[in-house]
Amino acid sequence: MNASERLPLLLREMRQAAGEARQMLGDRSFEEFERDLVLQRAIDMTLLIVAEAASQVTVKAPEFVAEHPDIPWTAMRGMRNRMAHGYLSVNLRVVYEAALVEAPALAATLDGILNRYAQGE
């Protein structure tokens, strides 16, 4: 599979995981999230999936990344590295905010991009 065929798959993977992170969080407060180790680990892993797919996009489709500066590519790669290599030192507030605010915003952006792909643009 070449890079142009792989790109929509990676974007769908990012979209799905971003939506799942927000869905898992539900209406829990930060304090509830902070007390729920299982939820923390689930959202951590889901955000790691988003960030890993984003990292692959930056390598395999740099022209796409350049065309979409509204997507926080560098921040996602940085989060991926922190989560993958410093798991126990991950800031829970950052993870919570990523699931609460950034994941839905990313999902909405990706919905628009994926809709354009589906329409053949």
116 in active site? no
> Which of 12, 28, 80, 116 is an active site residue?
80
The alpha carbon dihedral of 14, 109, 111, 6 has a sign of negative
Handedness of CA 70, 74, 77, 82 (dihedral sign): negative
One digit per residue, the tens of pLDDT, for the chain of length 121 reads 666 789 999 999 999 999 999 999 999 999 999 999 999 999 999 999 999 999 999 999 999 999 999 999 988 887 776 776 565 677 899 999 999 999 999 999 999 999 988 887 6
**Cα separation, 54 vs 7, whole angstroms:** 10
- Pick the catalytic residue from 6, 85, 93, 116: 85
Side-chain-side CA neighbours of 88 within 13 Å: the count stands at: 0
Q: Return the closest-CA partner of residue 96 out of 37, 22, 38, 45.
A: 22
What is the per-residue pLDDT for 120? 75
6 is catalytic: no
